[in-house]
Amino acid sequence: MGFCSAMTLAFATIFSLVSVALLAISFSTDNWVTISVDRNKIQEADDGKLTEDLMQSPLYFTRTRGLFRECFPGEKDKNAPKEGLVDLYMSPVETYCRNIDYYIPENGRTKNLSGEEMVRIHMARAMIAMFIVGFFFICVSFIAGVRGCWKTSPTDITASAVLILIACLFSAAGMGLWHGVEHWEMNKINTETRTELFVKSWPQELRNHSEFKYDWSYIVAWIGVGLSLLAAILLSLAAVCIRTDRDREEAERIHYQMPVYQKQQAAYGGPYGYAGYPPYYGNQYGPY
């Protein structure tokens, strides 16, 4: 294996491993969006209509949101809604969280939802499916990559590059659907709710004093998508390098074999194999 193929394979392996680690971390963490709520200003502007919501609705508390959970950092008594409207539990990182509902199974719970809400639910489900399918293709690409490195096979390495590129596309599609769900929640759905991010139906005080900010899980997810694309490109280059090295080695082997064949041929006295008799150009009957 030449220097070109060894270096590109090494970097491709590093990028692919880092990308799957980053995608797995972002997929499982709850810091895609941080929603900061200024409760003090809302309480100052409240005329008594929001007293119950200020205590029970999760919309009035600062929180972080991931693909599966919405979590409230800090102490439960001060920074999380009271029991009644939502059910909270302690997450593995010791924050109080509630699950995001994908209505799986539905059990008739979607009968009263509007068409816009159903579009949101279907996009959210497709988003999760895209990420899962992307992880599947990454695993298959690793198997093909290990086989290609073991056999130094450009065909297997090319297959690994194609598979990880497909995984990159599925992950990017998942990110796109996540933005689609976000857009649908904030701009399309007008249903009044005390728990969901349907911003258009929120009270004006809540909209004025809520701030949305993309957090580190979201950034890590896009970095993972970009690294998987770089890994696919480097694997393709590695396959090209290996194929070039093999062609060059084959040409050198043929070059070294040709003189030996010519020497063996010359040892038999010419192309007809009559050894030991120099050629005679005269008349066999003499000058007469």
Nearest Cα to Cα of residue 61 among 37, 87, 45: 37
pLDDT band at 10 (very low <50, low <70, confident <90, very high): confident
Is 21 or 150 the better-scoring residue by pLDDT? 21
Beta strands in the chain, from DSSP E residues, in sequence order: 33-37, 63-65, 69-72, 89-90, 96-99, 210-214
Note the pLDDT tens digit of each residue in 220-245.
Answer: 999 999 999 999 999 999 888 888 87
**Is 102:146 a contact under the CB 8 Å cutoff?**
no
Give, for 233, the enclosing helix (H) or strand (E).
helix 216-266
Yes or no: say if 15 and 234 are a contact pair by the CB < 8 Å rule.
Answer: yes
Distance separating alpha carbons of residues 50 and 161, to the nearest angstrom: 55
Query: pLDDT (tens digit, 9 = 90+) per residue, 242-260?
Result: 888 776 766 667 766 655 5
By CB neighbour count within 10 A (0-12 exposed, 13-18 middle, 19+ buried), where does 241 fall? buried
CA distance 77 to 99: 19
What spatial distance separates the first Cα and last Cα of the chain, rounded to whole Å? 72
Q: Is pLDDT at 49 greater than 80 in this prediction?
A: no
- CA–CA dist 191, 114 (Å, integer): 8
SS (HEC) of 241-254: HHHHHHHHHHHHHH
Strand partners, 71: 64, 97
pLDDT band at 6 (very low <50, low <70, confident <90, very high): confident
Mean pLDDT of 84-110: 87
- What is the reported pLDDT for 70? 94
Phi, psi at 199, each rounded to 5°: -60, -35
Neighbour count for residue 44 (Cβ, 10 Å): 10
Which has more pLDDT, 232 or 6?
232
